[in-house]
A and B are shown apart, each in its own frame.
Chain A
Amino acid sequence: MNSEHKYLIEEIPNTDFLYQRVHKNHNINGILALGLVFKNHGAGMSTDWSKYSTPELTKKRAAYYYKNPENYGVINMKVEDVRSIESQVVKHTPINENQSHTDVIGKKSPKEQVLFNRIYSWSIKP
């Protein structure tokens, strides 16, 4: 724990899952717009760790960013599968408002986007 955040940073086991919101407009006839879904926002690609979140909570959390949760679905990815993609690092980065917050750090070029596309599943379809 540091002075800025109230939650400890923890190691995330390979057997756990990451949840990620996907805007309904990024699901195009059942195909994800890869360049819009699998991209970094600042430090990395924002996800939620299954230890402290559920797909439903991840969906609702859109409201925290002043967005309508009803416009979002949620995908899940197994941590082990994410780590199997070369150059991707899964790092627990809790923020005061979200203990589950986790960044997937590493470049998101066409290669990584294709590989992410193979490992996700829908938890909640938009």
Chain B
Amino acid sequence: MPALLIKERELLSPTSYLTGASCNRKHSCNYKINKEWRNTEEIDDYIHLWTKKSGTIKVAITKKTSIEVKTIFHELIEKIQSSKFILELKDNWDDEDSKGYSEKTYVNAINFFKRYAQWIWDERGVIIDTPNILPSNEGSIDLFWSKMEYDLLINIPAYPNNVARFYGDNKKDSKIEGEFPLNSYNQGIFLSLLQS
């Protein structure tokens, strides 16, 4: 099936069409491929066009606040669900005098990842790994990718501070380190690791 036809046709849920084999793309989405389409690369295009089109989900982080996440980044939804307890941590929550965390700082961390993941999707058609979202020192929040191939740690400062610090390497010969303002940075700086 030509890719052009796929792009032009009405995009319905893949589950309506596809059963049988797994999507071949790196992010290993769960959609299945119909046997008669199994050997066509266009199937992947179909799936990704569908996921790109399929909209957003609102994820509640407090009773009053929610964050919109595109379904294509569904792993982020799970990470938000498992990390939003951070907002319940008040000063000295660990008997170690650690500070609590503001909603603004948490949302800044999520939004940074959303923007970055979207940019790489738009530019490269790749869905990057989703980081762990962890409480850090002085009310800041860490985004931590701990993978077999690489580690990357980005420290999102406590609001209203704006300068994030980072370090990452591929556990071999390539490393990056530095800091950047959250609202203005070179979007390419993490590409070498996140696409490795």
> Which among A5-13, A24-32, A94-102 touches the partner chain?
A24-32
Determine if A83 is an interface residue (Cβ-Cβ < 8 Å): no
**Interface of A, helix, strand, loop or mixed by DSSP:** helix
Contacts of B32 on A, CB cut-off 8 Å? Answer: none
Q: Which residue of A lies closest to B177 (CB)?
A: A111
**Interface of B, helix, strand, loop or mixed by DSSP:** strand
Assess whether A110 is in contact with B140, with CB atoms less than 8 Å apart. Answer: no
Which of the four size classes fits the interface of chain B?
Answer: 20 to 34
CB < 8 Å A-B pair total? 63
Assess whether A35 is in contact with B140, with CB atoms less than 8 Å apart. Answer: yes
From A23, A31, A33, A117, B95 is in contact (CB under 8 Å) with A23
Contacts of B135 on A, CB cut-off 8 Å? Answer: 28, 33, 35-36
**Contact digits for B54-74, partner A, Cβ 8 Å, 1 yes 0 no:** 000000000000000000000
Q: How far does the Cβ of A94 sit from chain B's closest Cβ, in whole Å?
A: 22
Contacts of B146 on A, CB cut-off 8 Å? Answer: 31, 117
Bound Cα distance A114, B134 (Å): 13
Contacts of B94 on A, CB cut-off 8 Å? Answer: 23, 25-26, 36
Bound Cα distance A24, B136 (Å): 14
Determine if B93 is an interface residue (Cβ-Cβ < 8 Å): yes
Q: Which residue of B lies closest to A40 (CB)?
A: B137
**Contact digits for B76-109, partner A, Cβ 8 Å, 1 yes 0 no:** 0000001000000000011110100000000000
A35-B137 in contact given A111-B177, A117-B146 (Cβ < 8 Å): yes
Determine if A14 is an interface residue (Cβ-Cβ < 8 Å): no
Q: Which residue of B lies closest to A108 (CB)?
A: B137
A34, A35, A110, most chain B CB atoms within 10 A: A110
Determine if B113 is an interface residue (Cβ-Cβ < 8 Å): no
Contacts of B116 on A, CB cut-off 8 Å? Answer: none
From B132, B151, B165, B169, A109 is in contact (CB under 8 Å) with B165
Assess whether A110 is in contact with B154, with CB atoms less than 8 Å apart. Answer: yes
Starting from the known contacts A67-B95, A114-B169, 20 additional A-B residue pairs (CB-CB under 8 Å) come to A23-B95, A25-B93, A26-B94, A28-B132, A31-B144, A31-B146, A34-B136, A34-B142, A35-B134, A35-B142, A36-B94, A36-B137, A39-B137, A109-B165, A110-B153, A110-B167, A111-B177, A114-B153, A114-B168, A118-B151
**Which residues of B are interface residues toward A (Cβ below 8 A)?**
82, 93-96, 98, 132, 134-137, 140, 142, 144, 146, 151, 153-155, 165-169, 177
